Structure 1
Amino acid sequence: MQKGKIVIDITENISTTLNDKNEVQSITGKGVEKIINTSSANRLWNLKLANKGTMEAVETSLRPDYAKEVLDAGKIWEVAYDITNLKEPILKLTEVIDTSRGAEGVNDNFVLNATVDCSIDLQLLNKATSAINNIKLVKNIPSYLRNLQVEKCTAGKADLNLETKVLEWSIDTIPAEQTAVLVIVGTTDVKNSEVKSGNVVDVTYEAFGVQQTAIVPSIESLTDTMTGIDQEEDDSKPGWWKCQVEFENESDYEVTVKTLKVTSKADPNPIVSISPAAVVPPKGTWKHPFSIQSAAVPTLVPVLEFTTNYLVQTKIVGKIHQEAKTFKVLETSLAKAIEPPVVNANANTDMKITCTLVNKGTASIDKVDYDDAIPRDFEPPGIDQVQFCITDFSGSVLHALQKEHAGITITPEDKDTTVPHALKITFHDLEAMLVPTNKLLVSYPIIARNPQPNISYEAPVTTKAYTKPAGPAYQDKPVQLPVIGIQYVKRKIKAAKSISPAGEDTFAVTIKISNQGGVELENIMVVESIPQGFNAGSFEPESLKPIFEDSDKGSKLTWFIPRLNANEDTKLKYTTSGKGEFTRSEPTVMVAEPDSLKKGIEPGMVETPKAQEASSSKATRFTERFNAFEASIKAIVTHSKAASLLDMFRDALFEMGVPALLSREINQEIAELKKGGDKVLVGAELDAFLKKVNAWRIKLC
């Protein structure tokens, strides 16, 4: 401690608490103003302490003036005060924990069971105009962080204990307006979705020569001194006296002579009046000579004012407590409901798919990538049929999501059931809606189109959920792979025919087609032969009028029945008249197989009566088939209807032994016709198609 002066020591203790966003949550201060008698021998008395200065926004409980009668040698006079209205400390602590270091921006959410690079960035900024010293930062690194190491340390020494996970960062000095940086890196190992604590940070520091307040103290006091006056008659000037005021500092202190006044008892007007501001060192003297005219020895009265000199030293002792940051965890649960879960084989069944993504974690979800599969033999929905919403945990709808929240694609963009389809949806801007425990529901219809009993129709679905800002995704899928169950149901069709007289040379014919199986049948073709010399008319029902083909060897009627449900039948009626014997024949019934059967899948059982062919010649039979097919095509039909007719025609030819190469050509043409959809097949397109059919006829006939 410095000798020779009184010491005014101001120590301000500043305690700061930061919230988890590095903002000042509270800051308090307490100060102590100490007047220290540094002498071991001399007292101080008549002490007058003054506190001035511009307080501005910072306030203290100090009074402007204090007084003390005596301060003994080696003693301390303390004045305590409170500091209020503080805004911030001189040392600024910033902690940034990035839970996904490789992602854009700073992420503050963890992903369950994901190993992700993370970092803890600690910065200490000296905002004062002088150095801050003896800084020490202590932090317990969270237990769920692994593979820790110090990546960067710009000042001091960072001691990271990998066993206890205690970090101690010690810095001797941070210069004015400089920043010290420490970066710890590691990886995440989060095993549950509870909110995680980043743990607190504690910092202590000292700063000399600075204050949080603007107190300017001063003190005046007396100490051990002597004042005297010498008077000597001037030999050279009779009647004049040489005088000298002598001030003797007997203390260990440096003092300052403030004023000196000398008067005589005979005359109150001052003989001497000066303000010398003379500094007198410890044990030193100060003299002031002057002359006065007097016939007798003058009676002089000296009045000398002095004060003991002092110095001011200031210090801030600070501590900062950073509250623990909290981190939420991303986790979801995905389920897919298929209704009905099992459908009949070889049947058309309306179905509904509902996928539910539950926010099972503690973090809000902002974005979801949804990837769903619709297997072959199932007709996908249209984009407008896909519905989605946000519900609470009980299932009550909270938000009916609009298309601006989702981008949807279905690939391929058709209804072709011979190939699988992919439904992809990208949901975004969900953060305020898909909060913990809420659910994202996606639902849409599909149609089973003649699925086969010996195929496993897997329908996997996956999701990727992201927080905001987007870090790594939480990837999810149902616990069990979704599979559409297929129940085999036997197919059976029966044709019956009755002939009854309806007048002279006229007969009423009824053909009854019955679906006696457990599933519906589609694209049924019924071919009826009419003996030579007979015609046909009065067809019932009106909605199923046949195609009539006439030839020298007899006529044919061909009906196309789009669909017969299980246990449903239909009656095809007509009247025929002519000359000669009306010979009974049995109708030929053919059912088009589903597209999946064309890929080598064994068909289900279909009972079809054998047709009584008009000719035993194979070439003749081919010719008859081609004639019937061309007649049906020449009627006004669409491309898709033509594809269906060609499909059945190909099957009929196949039974008669079509070469594999020709079968492939017909398959290619079926695929081309399907592309035309509901467009009518006429004009040049019809001519080109019939030309191909004629080429096939030539090869076979």
Structure 2
Amino acid sequence: MSEALKVVIDLSEKVDCVLSGDNKVKSISAKGTLTVKNPSRRNKVWSCELQLGGVSSTSLKEERYDVGEVPAGGTWTLEYNIPVSSPLISLKETVDTYPKDSAINWAVAFNRVTPVRCIITLTNPSDIFARNIEVRKRIPKGFGDPSIEPPQTGSAEYVSETREVIWRGFDLAPGAEATLAINMAVKPEEVKPIGAGEVKLTYQIVGSTASSLTPDLYCISDLRFGVEPAESLSKPNFWDCTLEFLNTSDFMELLLDVEMSLVSDGRSPALSLSPNVELLPHQSWSYTFQVESPELPVFETKFNYRVAYEVKRSVYTTVVKEETLLPVMKVEAEKIFAPAEVDAYDKTPMSVTVNVFNVGSAELDAVSIIDTVPEDFRAPTSDKIKITLGDREITSGVTIALEPPSAPIEQSKTLKIAVAGLSKIGGFKPGQTMKVFYPVVAWGPKPKGKYLAPLRVTCNISPPGLEGEFLRLEEIPPAIEVKYARRAVKIFKESITPGAEKNQYIVPLIIVNSGEVNIENVTVKDFVPPGFKLVSWKPEELQPKVEETPDGLVLSWLFVRIEPKQEIQFSYVIEGSGRYVR
């Protein structure tokens, strides 16, 4: 006996979903095709009528469809859309650019080898098995060959020809979760965000659909039936009748009910049955009954049967997660001295401006400046350092340190300025400039040509990871130019003239800065011989210091600062008698 066929109602649905780089549903669509398939090679089916329940879960409007005839090997199809909000299997990819800690970092550092760890997690929150799962992770150019941690479920390999990591060979049971970890590295050479590679997930659901359609198909195929009346051997006018149905098709057929009436007797009921039997191909079913009739009975027969069908359900799902974009951290800086050149040996107030430019594509949370105040320059106090971002002054999250903290002016010093928590005030955005301003004083620099003042800038995001670095001003330090200026001073002592009183004498002095640079802390001394005493001096604010010695008085004046070409005249009056030697 050949295998009994059933008409197949195939509900095949396809879900296509696109996830954004941050794992959110960007678009999703679901389409279905209901196909009535005739698997027989020789028997057609006809009078096919399809009833559908659950049409509200689809775009279909009708519940009844007149399918009509489906030839041997033929099909009839009905297409529909399904409103869905998410795929059955949850796909999540976590991309971490600093896997050393538990935080998830999301940016890479320009021109630095940055580790990137991708963790792909599949979760089945439903009560349905997901089968034939396959995940393909693209490894973009610029990334090194990945290192794959062996998954607990399925197998994973890297195919270098297509630059894909392929994870497959497993199903996902209801409530189960599967994880794959991939490690790689990249050294960004551009500032535009770097894509970490898309992920494509495919899987199949068998025995279930996204829609709630419940089909019922009525159709018939080839069937032979007949009635054999034979007069009873023992009772005249009584007929032993045999009703027989023969399934002449390749299908399993269901004989549901039979109604027979005697035409010769005014269509009086002769038989009413509900066999509800399954007839396999070429299998028959018969029933014997007796009727009374004076002549050969003629019957009118009505019966109901149908071809058996089976419903197959499947969902094929494709989820494409767009690649996660990794912004690139990059800063540049300039250091401006005003004035750019100072005189040797002089004390010159200066200002230093450090401009930090965010030239990358990442919004920064922190900036650190490691600056140098050269020897012979006085460093600023922390309250004199001003930091602005755009038109906003930054006062919180700022740490300032001078190392060594009490270094003498003759020693080089390191000035560390750290600004953190910028994300709380909107972040240091690409294209913005951070300005750091502070005063210094050139404190008698030596005429050696220039003083180097290297600078290093680092930056980071929140949460922090591998730092971005700007090293050019450390490798090629900016310099403060020192102009050589000749130092020269003249001191004149003019002729002594008589004073206003007897035995008083006026001693005039002149000091002139005849050099090219300010001179400081200049001491002028004059000698008053024995027999004379100091009476007065002019101007009054230039009071000399008087020191008594066995050889007379020593007068001294301290001039804190004398500018170039500046001339200072002063005098003193003595009183006494004796020999005065100039």
More helix by share: 1
- The answer to whether structure 1 residue 309 and structure 2 residue 308 are counterparts is yes
Give the Cα–Cα distance (whole angstroms) in 2 for the partners of residues 341 and 260 of structure 1: 113
Q: What residue in structure 1 maps to residue 418 of structure 2?
A: 426
Give the Cα–Cα distance (whole angstroms) in 2 for the partners of residues 299 and 49 of structure 1: 35
- The answer to whether structure 1 residue 171 and structure 2 residue 169 are counterparts is yes
Q: CA deviation at 1:48?
A: 0.7
Task: Give the direction of change, closer, same or farther, for the CA distance of 1:206–1:433 in structure 2 (3 Å limit).
Answer: closer
Query: Where do residues 32-431 of structure 1 align in structure 2 (5 Å cutoff)?
Result: 32-53=33-54, 55=56, 58-61=57-60, 63-79=62-78, 81-126=79-124, 129-162=127-160, 165-171=163-169, 173-229=171-227, 245-263=243-261, 273=272, 275-288=274-287, 301-390=300-389, 398-413=390-405, 416-431=408-423
Q: CA deviation at 1:87?
A: 1.6
Task: Give the direction of change, closer, same or farther, for the CA distance of 1:44–1:162 in structure 2 (3 Å limit).
Answer: closer
- Compare 58-67 and 356-365 and name the one that shifted more: 58-67
Give the Cα–Cα distance (whole angstroms) in 1 for the partners of residues 404 and 320 of structure 2: 59
Which deviations, in whole Å up to 9, do the C-alpha atoms of 1:332-360 show, x marking residues without a partner? 22222222222111111011111122222
- The answer to whether structure 1 residue 581 and structure 2 residue 575 are counterparts is no
Task: Give the direction of change, closer, same or farther, for the CA distance of 1:571–1:163 in structure 2 (3 Å limit).
Answer: farther
Q: Tell whether the 8 Å contact from 1:508 to 1:574 is kept in structure 2 after alignment.
A: yes
Give the Cα–Cα distance (whole angstroms) in 2 for the partners of residues 294 and 439 of structure 1: 113
Give the Cα–Cα distance (whole angstroms) in 1 for the partners of residues 571 and 288 of structure 2: 155
Give the Cα–Cα distance (whole angstroms) in 1 for the partners of residues 546 and 171 of structure 2: 107
Counterpart of 1:581, as a letter, is: G
Give the Cα–Cα distance (whole angstroms) in 1 for the partners of residues 3 and 314 of structure 2: 16
Q: What residue in structure 2 maps to residue 25 of structure 1?
A: 26
- Compare 399-408 and 91-100 and name the one that shifted more: 91-100
Q: Tell whether the 8 Å contact from 2:543 to 2:557 is kept in structure 1 after alignment.
A: yes
Q: CA deviation at 1:312?
A: 0.6
Counterpart of 1:575, as a letter, is: V
Q: CA deviation at 1:262?
A: 4.2
Query: Where do residues 411-560 of structure 1 align in structure 2 (5 Å cutoff)?
Result: 411-413=403-405, 416-431=408-423, 432-454=426-448, 457-477=451-471, 478=473, 480-498=476-494, 499-502=496-499, 503-550=501-548, 553-560=551-558
Counterpart of 2:23, as a letter, is: N
1:146 is paired with a residue whose SS is coil
Q: CA deviation at 1:64?
A: 1.3
Q: CA deviation at 1:235?
A: 8.3
Which deviations, in whole Å up to 9, do the C-alpha atoms of 1:154-177 show, x marking residues without a partner? 344433233653434442544444
Give the Cα–Cα distance (whole angstroms) in 2 for the partners of residues 247 and 18 of structure 1: 58
Counterpart of 1:284, as a letter, is: Q
Q: Tell whether the 8 Å contact from 2:4 to 2:252 is kept in structure 1 after alignment.
A: no
Q: CA deviation at 1:12?
A: 1.3
Give the Cα–Cα distance (whole angstroms) in 1 for the partners of residues 267 and 202 of structure 2: 63
Q: CA deviation at 1:233?
A: 7.2
Which deviations, in whole Å up to 9, do the C-alpha atoms of 1:176-202 show, x marking residues without a partner? 443443333222232232332333333
Which deviations, in whole Å up to 9, do the C-alpha atoms of 1:365-419 show, x marking residues without a partner? 22111111112221111212111222xxxxxxx2323210422223445584233
Q: CA deviation at 1:143?
A: 1.6
Q: Tell whether the 8 Å contact from 1:133 to 1:171 is kept in structure 2 after alignment.
A: no
Counterpart of 1:303, as a letter, is: K
- Compare 104-113 and 155-164 and name the one that shifted more: 155-164
- Compare 156-165 and 141-150 and name the one that shifted more: 156-165
Give the Cα–Cα distance (whole angstroms) in 1 for the partners of residues 24 and 54 of structure 2: 29
1:403 is paired with a residue whose SS is coil
Q: CA deviation at 1:284?
A: 2.7
Q: Tell whether the 8 Å contact from 1:2 to 1:38 is kept in structure 2 after alignment.
A: no
Which deviations, in whole Å up to 9, do the C-alpha atoms of 1:259-315 show, x marking residues without a partner? 334455657886655544333333333345566677887765443222211111112
Counterpart of 1:378, as a letter, is: F
Q: CA deviation at 1:507?
A: 1.4
Task: Give the direction of change, closer, same or farther, for the CA distance of 1:127–1:581 in structure 2 (3 Å limit).
Answer: same
TM-score by length of 2: 0.88
Give the Cα–Cα distance (whole angstroms) in 2 for the partners of residues 378 and 264 of structure 1: 128
Task: Give the direction of change, closer, same or farther, for the CA distance of 1:145–1:295 in structure 2 (3 Å limit).
Answer: same
Which deviations, in whole Å up to 9, do the C-alpha atoms of 1:113-141 show, x marking residues without a partner? 21232233334444554443344444441
Q: Tell whether the 8 Å contact from 2:9 to 2:35 is kept in structure 1 after alignment.
A: yes
More strand by share: 2
Q: Tell whether the 8 Å contact from 2:150 to 2:156 is kept in structure 1 after alignment.
A: no
Q: CA deviation at 1:428?
A: 1.6
Give the Cα–Cα distance (whole angstroms) in 1 for the partners of residues 59 and 456 of structure 2: 64
Task: Give the direction of change, closer, same or farther, for the CA distance of 1:262–1:551 in structure 2 (3 Å limit).
Answer: same
Q: Tell whether the 8 Å contact from 1:18 to 1:26 is kept in structure 2 after alignment.
A: yes
Q: What residue in structure 2 maps to residue 672 of structure 1?
A: none
Q: Tell whether the 8 Å contact from 1:8 to 1:312 is kept in structure 2 after alignment.
A: yes
1:384 is paired with a residue whose SS is helix
Q: CA deviation at 1:232?
A: 6.7
Task: Give the direction of change, closer, same or farther, for the CA distance of 1:163–1:51 in structure 2 (3 Å limit).
Answer: closer
Q: CA deviation at 1:446?
A: 0.6
Q: Tell whether the 8 Å contact from 1:104 to 1:471 is kept in structure 2 after alignment.
A: no
- Compare 400-409 and 530-539 and name the one that shifted more: 530-539
Q: CA deviation at 1:252?
A: 2.4
Q: Tell whether the 8 Å contact from 2:82 to 2:211 is kept in structure 1 after alignment.
A: no
- Compare 65-74 and 445-454 and name the one that shifted more: 65-74
Task: Give the direction of change, closer, same or farther, for the CA distance of 1:552–1:318 in structure 2 (3 Å limit).
Answer: closer
Task: Give the direction of change, closer, same or farther, for the CA distance of 1:59–1:512 in structure 2 (3 Å limit).
Answer: same
Aligned-residue RMSD, C-alpha: 3.1
Give the Cα–Cα distance (whole angstroms) in 1 for the partners of residues 65 and 3 of structure 2: 24
Give the Cα–Cα distance (whole angstroms) in 2 for the partners of residues 230 and 163 of structure 1: 75
Q: Tell whether the 8 Å contact from 2:32 to 2:82 is kept in structure 1 after alignment.
A: no
2:372 is paired with a residue whose SS is strand
Give the Cα–Cα distance (whole angstroms) in 2 for the partners of residues 363 and 178 of structure 1: 36
2:215 is paired with a residue whose SS is strand
Q: Tell whether the 8 Å contact from 2:55 to 2:61 is kept in structure 1 after alignment.
A: no
Counterpart of 1:410, as a letter, is: L
How many residues are aligned here? 574
Task: Give the direction of change, closer, same or farther, for the CA distance of 1:573–1:237 in structure 2 (3 Å limit).
Answer: farther
Counterpart of 2:317, as a letter, is: G
Give the Cα–Cα distance (whole angstroms) in 2 for the partners of residues 127 and 256 of structure 1: 40
Counterpart of 1:500, as a letter, is: T
Q: What residue in structure 2 maps to residue 598 of structure 1?
A: none
